[in-house]
Amino acid sequence: MLNIRGYYTNLDSRYLLLFWARSIIYSIESNVAELDEISRGYTMLFCFISNLECISGPFGLLEKTNFR
């Protein structure tokens, strides 16, 4: 009974975390300038993690990739 209850508690916290992240994303999307900065940051982070050489465009899009 405790294991099942703990499983349901973890599942509920995951849904709450997803709802919280979604609400933050929607609040950021209301401001285009902030969204531009955030997407640029995500592009730079993606390039750092994937070990790619890339240039972020005006909206932080991946324009040039160099796979080695």
pLDDT at 32 (0 to 100): 58
Query: What is d(CA 6, CA 58) in angstroms, rounded to the nearest whole number?
Result: 46
Query: Tokens at residue 55, please?
Result: 């240039």
Q: Is the pLDDT assigned to residue 17 strictly greater than 50?
A: yes
* pLDDT per position as a tens digit, 21-35: 777 766 666 665 555
pLDDT band, residue 57 (cuts 50/70/90): very low
Sign for the CA dihedral angle at 30, 36, 42, 43 comes to positive
Name residues whose C-beta falls within 8 Å of residue 23's C-beta, 6 or more positions apart in sequence. Answer: none
CB contact set of 13 (below 8 Å; sequence gap of 6+): none
Q: According to the model, what pLDDT value does residue 7 have?
A: 52
